Each structure stands twice: as structure tokens, then as C-alpha cells.
Amino acid sequence: MFGKKKDDQPTQGADTKTDGDAKSYAKPEGPAAPTGRPAMNPDIPRRSPDMSAFARPAAGASTAIAPRSTSEAEQKKLIVGRDIFLNGEIRTCDSLVVEGKVEAVLSDCRAMDIAGSGEFRGSAEIETADISGRFDGDLVVRQRLTIRATGKVLGKIRYGQLEVERGGVISGTIEALADAPGGDSGSGGTN
């Protein structure tokens, strides 16, 4: 089968000697067996596929893959990709990443990141914000508001801490929150 040429097979009635014994390699008489694959033996049961790679570990068994940390597993993150337009209300979101366009009311959220290509119109009340794109509307950031060099924030802005990189734009009614750490309760005004 493997490594033999058809010409190397002995023909009917041909004799070959092995270790001094003469043996005949004549084909058996009777119906000719088809050449190719051997016939299936129905007496041998088929082997079931090995699904152990997909099986869930038994209760109490340890796994080789480390489980995600609690904060990672419970994090609720919404990403609005490029060329996506989202309109509506967003609630109970741990992290919002805007790369496209969003017109929404954002509440009960912790962090917002507006990428350079992102635009947000509406109102948002969050813990922290990092803005490289454009925000237009009412913004309340209880902790830290960071406006990057390419960022523009327009409208009514209230913040705990403010950081604006050179080139960043902030315009509108700007006011520090009274209860914010490091915030100046007396400062604020229109820019």
C-alpha cells in the first residue's frame, strides 16, 4: 500500500523465497475484493468525539484559566464605534467610550471617554471624563474633568477638578462643584 509500486507486487502463481522457504503468493479464489478502502467492520463501535475541551469543570474543580477579577467581570462598558450614531438615554453604565456620534442623556454612569473622532451632544452626570473630541451640552463631572489638546467642551460645565491641556477648548458657563475635593467653591463663571 505505502511505499510499494504496483509493478513490485508479485503476480498470480509467482514464487518468492524467504529464508529458504518457498511460498506461493497466489490470489485467493472467489469474489474479488474491491481495492481501495477496507470495508467497515460493523462489530466495532464508533468512538465518540472527545468533548473534554468544551466541558465545564465540576463544582469545586480548579481550572487552568485564571478567572477574571470581580471588577473586570462586573464592569459595564459601552463603546460607540466610528461612523456609529446613537440617540437616546444611557443609564447604569460603568464606562462610555465615544468614537462616533452620541445624542443622549447620560446618567448613573462612572466614566466617559470621548475619543478624537467622537462627539457627544446632550447632558451627562458622571464621576470622571476624559475628552479628546467634542462635548456640547450640560456636563457635571463630580471628580476629574480632563480636556485633551484636541478636545472641545461647550455648554454648562460643572466639575470637581479640572485639567485642560494646551490647545484644549472650554467655553460656556463653567463652575466648580462646592463639595468636590480640591475644587474652589468660589470660582466659576463664564468663559
Full pLDDT tens readout for the chain, 191 residues:
566 565 555 555 545 445 545 455 555 555 555 566 666 666 766 666 665 555 555 555 554 545 555 455 467 888 999 999 999 998 888 899 999 999 999 988 899 999 999 999 999 999 999 999 999 999 999 999 999 999 999 999 999 999 999 999 999 999 998 875 554 444 444 44
Give me the residues paired with residue 107 across strands.
Answer: 91
Q: Judging by DSSP bridges, how do beta strands 21-24 and 15-18 pair with one another?
A: antiparallel
| Beta bridge partner(s), residue 119 | 101, 134
Q: CA-CA distance, 10 to 177, in Å (whole number)?
A: 99
pLDDT of 30 reads 55
pTM: 0.57
In Å, how far are 93, 101, 126, 136, 159 from 105, measured between CA atoms?
12, 13, 11, 12, 17
| Predicted local distance difference test score (pLDDT) of residue 31 | 57
| Total count of residues recorded for the chain | 191
Count of CA atoms in the C-beta half-sphere (13 A) of 71: 1
Report yes or no: 78 and 98 within 8 Å, Cβ to Cβ: no
AA letter at 92 = T
> Which of these, 79, 81, 83, 103, lies nearest to 93 by C-alpha position?
79
